Structure 1
Amino acid sequence: FQKITNLKIFLEEREIQIEFDRKNSISNDVLDPQLSKRLQDIIQFYKEEYNVDVIKELLVTNAYGANVAIGSGISDYVQDDEEWWLTAKNKGVYTGALKYYDIYD
């Protein structure tokens, strides 16, 4: 990412492509499929252990806000405009309250 001349345009184009792929049932490529699998395993563990589907969105981003692994959810490709991401970038960590999103009902 450091070598990309216009990172903002690159990320915007990537997000448009992923949204197109999602709408056309093409799986979006993930930079780290092993990490994505690990996130999916964590989600599955909680489903099996507690018989509750509590994690609807779980992802990992890089220092630029681009997703590098997705365990679950229909998230944007770029997270750099999200409050939690900005806090994590500035402070090194973000811990927030659990939230209910009715879009997952």
Structure 2
Amino acid sequence: MSSHPAWIGNFREKTRSYVSNRSSKILGRIDCSSPNPLLAALAAGPLEDLLAKNGGVVVDRVEMLARRNPHFRLLLNGVWGSSIKPQVLSKLAKYRDQRW
């Protein structure tokens, strides 16, 4: 049994759900047709931050986008992994083979 009050678990679940839903909307709208300064800013900024702070929550969605969308894979290859948990990087490694 958890030593935390029930509301903490509920809050965590709502936070995970919110992050997952919001990230899906954001990630699904990013245009990444070729490397460029905007793409670099998106990769090294919002996407890297998302994976560093909420990678465990969004990794499945990111993996799905990378599998289906070569343009998104290009964006994912611009992310630096230094602040991302090893488990998240490991799951995405097969899509990060063309670093730029």
TM over 0.5: no
Compare the two structures and name the one with the higher strand fraction. Answer: 1
The structure whose RCO (Cα within 8 Å, separation 6+) is larger is 2
Compare the two structures and name the one with the higher helix fraction. Answer: 2
